Amino acid sequence: MSDRIVVITGASSGIGAALAAEVARRGGAPVLAARREALLREVAARIGGKALVVPADVTRREENQKILDAALARFGRVDVWVNNAGRGITRPVSQLTDADLDEMFLVNVKAALYGMQVVLPHFRERSRGHLINISSMLGRVPFAVHRSAYNAAKHALNALTANLRMELRAEYPDIHVTAVFPGVVATDFGLNALHGGIDSRSLPFAQTPEEVAALIAEVIERPRAEIYTRPESQAMVVSYFAAEDVAEVESRPPFARPPR
């Protein structure tokens, strides 16, 4: 990690802020990007070191270019780009509106696509780099019905991530493309969900953002195509898709909740 320049979107809180601190702790230089400038500056002040703050709205392509330009102006290169910005929703499929879908795909898919497309020419020029997209377990196994359009968006992000990796493999073997699959993390994700939601930090089984950040830092140091932040998560995915009838799996927890 020493001296690596790591762009992190959604860095004002949660996983992004924790990852910025972990990158700095390991000797890297985090580039902190998010809309909330005051919070970004608080994160930068806490971690110190070579942190660069770039206020930006990553749902706009030109703002992703602004992040890259600022990083190159300060450091001369970018080694890793982490598309971490995202937002949830609390609404089942039967109630989804056009606006709900547009928001979920803008924030969770298009913003990441903009980041990938903006930094790729730089990575290709150097014939190296690492793109990391923060997905979700719900992008693998959509067991949270109320997250419907978020689940769909993360499934789409997974496909783009895998297809980019395949696209680059032959000509650019040193450009790595990784998907990260956290479960529930103790952040303000739930409170910030479209149409509101419960505070993820109140859930007893939530992982800490610091634990997730440490795992992302490890994949930066030793690149892999995919990582699950909980060891049991991959087994759940395998079990679900290996079932002869997934509807039978969906009739049991964690898919089907017991009556209250």
Residues 80, 6: Cα–Cα separation, whole Å: 5
pTM of structure: 0.96
Q: pLDDT-based confidence at 259, cuts 50/70/90?
A: very low
Tokens of 254: 């964690």
Q: Which of 150, 172, 228, 240 is catalytic?
A: 150
Tokens of 85: 């910005």
Q: pLDDT-based confidence at 254, cuts 50/70/90?
A: confident
pLDDT at residue 258, rounded to an integer: 52
What CA–CA distances, in Å, run from 116 to 16, 54, 132, 217? 17, 17, 9, 19
Tens-digit pLDDT profile for residues 185-229: 999 999 999 999 888 988 888 999 999 999 999 999 999 999 999
Residues 53, 37: Cα–Cα separation, whole Å: 8
Tens-digit pLDDT profile for residues 50-69: 999 999 999 999 999 999 99
Go through the domains of the chain in sequence order and give each one's CATH number: 5-232 (3.40.50.720)
In what side-by-side order are the strands of the sheet with 29-34? 52-55, 29-34, 5-9, 80-83, 129-134, 175-181, 226-228
Q: pLDDT-based confidence at 257, cuts 50/70/90?
A: low
Q: Which residues pair with 97 in a beta bridge?
A: none
pLDDT at residue 260, rounded to an integer: 42
Lowest mean pLDDT among 70-74, 90-94, 194-198: 194-198
Tens-digit pLDDT profile for residues 105-155: 999 999 999 999 999 999 999 999 999 999 999 999 999 999 999 999 999
**Residue 150 is a catalytic residue:** yes
Cβ proximity of 28 and 52 under 8 Å: no
Q: Which helix (H) or strand (E) holds 37?
A: helix 37-47
The whole-chain average pLDDT of the chain stands at 95
pLDDT at residue 202, rounded to an integer: 86
pLDDT at residue 244, rounded to an integer: 95
pLDDT at residue 199, rounded to an integer: 87
Tens-digit pLDDT profile for residues 6-48: 999 999 999 999 999 999 999 999 999 999 999 999 999 999 8
For range 246-260, the mean pLDDT: 79
